[in-house]
Structure 1
């Protein structure tokens, strides 16, 4: 039986946080920050399942609820695969793995130790967000027994029932990032490598809008452009973004989104280099980045969204992107190549 013919039909009724995306793929809204901001994905084939990204610890009831809504036992989950170990993608890994007796955690080799012992991960995020925000948004981190983990490798193939998923190393947003190619759907599970695309910016005619994410501390624009090019070489017809969900109407639309993404990476790099020695550099970076995103979003939407609304929706991303560019600028010049 082919992977396509083995795909189960989606139930007629799903919880409001669970969306069928076709091809046996479901998006779980993890309720991080706001609705339709952070997605975990559940892939189902031949009665077996895999989670790609998990959201934070607070997402656990929804992740388990998704299995229940689809009639899947917890023992049916073979894989839990965070695209990288940033907490909005992997903070819920430990609690979820504790509930899934048959699952193996598949994580980038640079991130594996942080999933086994998340203390350094917590300390790093604490330095960015502060104690109050960490407790409110992320909750306690839980390690995974090393015996239940596996480090991924570039060009690794794994099976889910009769379905094959291919993993590739995708640095640029983070060095501990991999993405997954699903031939059945013709799409990539991109984590943060293919940027951010919020549904509030969708246009009925033009489709989705997209922007890069350069959050601290491992933004590398050259590597990011290379990772995007590598994904685009497969001629994908859709992308599955953690922030947020499926984008791309067809191959040409994904090409449009990739071009927009790379153009903005170029612009962000130019802004950062121009402001490298500016007084109050962080605030200057935030102003320039917000102006860039407001201009690009306005072009996409034909000016239908007020600049103040764009600023409100992107406030956290502007802050984190400015922080990430600052870290990149402070590296020795040879490390920025």
Structure 2
């Protein structure tokens, strides 16, 4: 029997299975979609909504935790397919959903034309009258079920997280790091922070993690990837790693091979922690599963370092 208050994880299919999640939240016959993948993932997400037994006209809200393209790139095409939905977006992100020109240009500059065409083609603007700006404390009412939006910068200045009191859980986007299910073991989940360009700020990230933990959540649902519990331990792990990552980047400052030094430092940090976590063949597994994230984290740390040492 279908659960009328179900929370369904949707694998958006971005890059590889188990990398990028969206969440479908149901209440009283209505639904909210939290995050949505890239534009090329839109049909996959629509198919998953249908497979969950939810009609397109029952989706009242599309909530994007932030406007990085793996979370919000599909918003334009999805809003055209979900006739009753409103887009809920952080105030700093709203202009980029209404006019994604700068997002598209930035993505092409970072990824190149070929990769943009593969992973991001099809981005579309969202009509301004369908956009709801979520200031800190904004409440989305999903058929009477409150979904509370809390400002959680650190990963990005345009990031909010969503508190679902009904399940005592957060939908945290990228605020509570990355935790891929390939690393799950007898010691539980393994998590690392995500410091991707261009707005990483360590103190803000520390503060936002504490905001999440302050509500004593039973679980936290993250975009990369899935639901984690043991939130206090994972929060402590993230705090330790943020400080260690900042130290690695500071140690690399002023060297001609700064980027390579940061990449090497992060690789050694995550490998040592993975080994301590009981992950077999940790050095190879970290490079295999986290290699792209290490590169992106190193880029974000470098951008932060350039601001911090001015």
Tell me if both proteins adopt one fold, taking TM over 0.5 as the criterion. yes
Residue of structure 2 aligned with 1:327, choices 303, 306, 310: 303
Aligned to 2:119: 137
* Deviation for aligned residue 1:305: 2.9
Pair 1:54 & 2:36 matched: yes
* Matching residue within 181, 195, 205 for 1:224: 205
Is 1:147 equivalent to 2:124 in the alignment? Answer: no
1:333 Cα deviation from its structure 2 partner: 3.7
Distance 2:279 2:164 in 1: 36
> Displacement, 1:303?
4.5
1:93 matched to 2:96: no
Match of 2:168 among 186, 195, 202: 186
Q: Distance in 2 between matches of 1:78 and 1:104?
A: 6
Separation in structure 2 between the aligned mates of residue 136 and residue 62 of structure 1, nearest angstrom: 15
Give, in angstroms, the shift of residue 70 of structure 1.
2.6
**TM-score, normalising length: structure 2:** 0.97
Alignment partner for residue 102 of structure 2, among 99, 108, 120?
120
Unaligned runs of 5+ in 2: none
1:76–1:102 CA contact under 8 A, matched in 2: yes
**In 1, Cα distance between the equivalents of 2:79 and 2:10?**
17
Query: Take 1:125 and 1:268, find their aligned partners in 2: how far apart are those partners?
Result: 25
Q: Is the 1:8–1:46 contact (alpha carbons within 8 Å) kept by the matching residues of 2?
A: no
CA contact (8 A) 1:8 1:45 kept: no
Instruction: Kindly indicate whether residue 27 of structure 2 is the aligned counterpart of residue 45 of structure 1.
Output: yes
Q: Aligned to 1:144, what secondary structure does the other structure show? A: coil
Q: How many residues align?
A: 310
**Contact 2:8–2:52 at 8 Å: present in 1 too?**
no
Secondary structure, aligned partner of 1:330 = helix
- The alpha-carbon deviation at position 276 of structure 1 amounts to 1.1
Q: Which residue of 1 is the match for residue 142 of structure 2? A: 160
Contact 1:197 1:243 in 2 (8 A): yes
User: Does 2:214 align with 1:214?
Assistant: no
Q: Report deviation, 1:285.
A: 0.6
> Matched residues in 2 for 1:173 and 1:314: separation?
17
What displacement does 1:224 show?
0.5
SS at match of 1:314: helix
Separation (CA, whole Å) in 1 of partners of 2:87 and 2:71 = 13
Question: Which residue of 2 is the match for residue 269 of structure 1?
Answer: 246
RMSD of equivalent CA atoms = 1.4
The normalised TM-score by structure 1 is 0.89
Does residue 1:281 correspond to 2:293, yes or no?
Answer: no
Q: Does 2:293 correspond to 1:317? A: yes
SS in 2 for 1:312: helix
User: Aligned partners of 1:172 and 1:127: how far apart in 2?
Assistant: 23
Distance 2:305 2:49 in 1: 44
> In the alignment, which residue of structure 2 is the partner of 1:233?
214
Matches within 5 A, 1:73-84: 73-84=55-66
